[in-house]
Structures are given as structure tokens and as C-alpha cells.
Copies of this chain bind each other. A is one copy, B any other.
Amino acid sequence: MEKIAVIGSGLIGRAWAIVFARAGHPVKMYDNTTGAVDKALGLIDEGLGELKNAGLIEDAPATIMGRIAAAQSLEDAVGDADYVQENTSEKVDVKREVYRMLDEAAPAHCILASSTSTIQTSRFSEGLKGKHRCIVAHPVNPPHVVPIVEVSPAPWTAPEVIEKTRALQEKVGQVPITVKKEVEGFILNRLQAALLLESWRLVGEGYVSVEDLDKTIRDGLGLRWAFMGPFETIDLNAPGGVSDYAARFGPAFDSMMSGVEYKPWGQELIARIEAERRKMMPHEKHAEREAWRDRRLMALVAHKRAQDALDD
């Protein structure tokens, strides 16, 4: 599991190149749009500079850049690869065609992993000779900062492909989890959906403003979730642990959510929430605020690493 191919040079592909190269892996990058990889290499160099500033990489950016090469064809990129991270467009037909080509061009031992957030492994790998080596490894944007990777196999994905994918992701500093059965949205987006649908409903029905709801998370629940997750949070919130918590608060949660129904977000509500956000942040500040978010994410990850080191 040494040589990595990254297919697609957009935001996610570039971040993956950083993830693998900073961990010492040689990376070949391919994109079927002419000139896209050259442009991507420039952006990767910028990204490495930001990571260096945030104290998140030790090697010099130039050293890491030296491990990333542009490939001239898909065959050139994957011909000697041990692991492919694919980041093409989120269309089933495109993925099917890409995986047909990858399965033909990559050596037999090579794992074919997709960054898709919406397409199950079984949908793009069905019928392929190498369907046992296909898997989803879904990151969160941007994966060179946010470490979670959802590893989601098809029913026919070989167990060692799951294990090797998890092991590689751990080795390069990501945090893999396994989605044991295929499910729409995997785990992360289902959890996001659960929180978002209730958030939209609470604003929609006039219980709270957009700004106050965000504060409830970022100055409340989000502080715990940033280093514990929901189960450890409740386990520590009752003297007898999770079962004690379930006995004390389970019925209250059932009661408060029973009868709740979620409707699709209507145009009026969308416009209202958009207007509330635009009062807080005008549209022309979007790119600047995105950069702020990425800086804050990097600083938070650096903070967590330093705290984890203190714990050890």
C-alpha cells in the first residue's frame, strides 16, 4: 500500500493528494480536463503552506510537493498503483464508466476507493471483474484538515479490502469508520440530516432565530461533540453511564420528538433563512469567511492534537 493514484483534481482530489503525500506516499494525480492537474499542483502548494503555518505538517511543503506527480493518462496514474482514490463527478453513469476503466488499468492487488458522498459502492462496482476491490472512502471537506473517512463496502467487497483501506487511512493520519451495511447518506450525512431537519423546523415554526440556533450548537453542544461524540457525552452525563442516562432521559427525548414531522424545506422558509444569514454575513464575504473557516478548522485540529498529546 505504497503508491497512490488520485483521480480528479478538484477540491477533494487536491486535499487527498496532500493527505497521502504528507504521510510520505508517492502520489500520481490524473484529471481528464487538460491543464487541470497543473492548476491543481499550484493550489496544493498553497494548501501545504497553510498547513505549515498552522503547525500541522513537519516536512517542508517543497518536500511534500516532490512526492506528487502529474499523470498523463488514467493508465499512467493507476498502472502501478496500490490504492486509487477517485474523485470524479457525482453521477452514477460517470462513476460506472470510470470504475470500468480503473478495473482494467489497475494491477490486481490495487484497491479502488471512491470519495463519493451519495453513491453506494454496489451501484458503481456491480458487474465488474474486480468488484471485490471496490469501496467507498468518503471524506469530509476538506479532508486534509478534517480527519474522518467513512469506509463503506458493498456486500461483495472483500473483508481484506475493508481492513487495508482502514489501515491505510489510519496510517496517513485520518480517522476511518466502517459503515457496516450500505445506507443512504452513510453515517455522517444522516447525522447531519437529523440535526438540520430539526434546526430548520425550529426556525420555520418560529421557536428560535438562525443566529441563536447556531449559538446553541457552537457555544453549547458542539463544544462536547468536538472531542467526545454523542455517546461518550451521554455516558459521562449520568453517574451510572449510558444505561443510567437512558433510564433518566430516554422517555423525555421520546416525548419531545414524538409527533414531529419534517416537511421539505419550502421556498418561503429558504428565503427567510437566507435573509437571516445575509444580515450576519453579506454574500460578498463568502470566500473570505470560507478561508476563515479553514483557518479555524486547522487551528482546532492543532489544538486537539496538542491536547491529545498531553493526555498520553
Q: Which residues of B contact A175 (CB under 8 A)?
A: 215, 219-220
Q: Which residues of B contact A220 (CB under 8 A)?
A: 140, 146-148, 175, 188
Q: Which chain A residues numbered 37 to 70 have a C-beta less than 8 Å away from chain B?
A: none
A228, B185: Cβ atoms closer than 8 Å: no
Chain B proximity of A101: nearest CB distance (Å): 27
Given A196-B253, A230-B214, A296-B307 contact (CB < 8 Å):
yes
Q: Which residues of B contact A195 (CB under 8 A)?
A: 191, 194-195, 230
Chain B proximity of A175: nearest CB distance (Å): 4
Q: Which residues of B contact A253 (CB under 8 A)?
A: 185, 189, 192-193, 196-197
Q: How large is the interface on A (under 10, 10 to 19, 20 to 34, 35 or more residues)?
A: 35 or more
A159 CB–B CB distance under 8 Å: no
A109 CB–B CB distance under 8 Å: no
- Interchain CA distance A201-B203 in the complex, whole Å: 25
A172 CB–B CB distance under 8 Å: no
Chain B proximity of A228: nearest CB distance (Å): 6
A226, B225: Cβ atoms closer than 8 Å: yes
Interface segment among A79-87, A120-128, A265-273: the answer is A265-273
Chain B proximity of A254: nearest CB distance (Å): 5
Chain B proximity of A23: nearest CB distance (Å): 17
* Interface, chain A (partner B; CB < 8 A): 118, 140-141, 146-148, 150, 175, 177-181, 183-185, 187-199, 202, 206-210, 212-232, 234-237, 239-243, 246, 250-257, 262, 264-265, 270-271, 273-274, 277-278, 280-281, 283, 286, 289-290, 292-293, 296-297, 299-301, 303, 307, 311
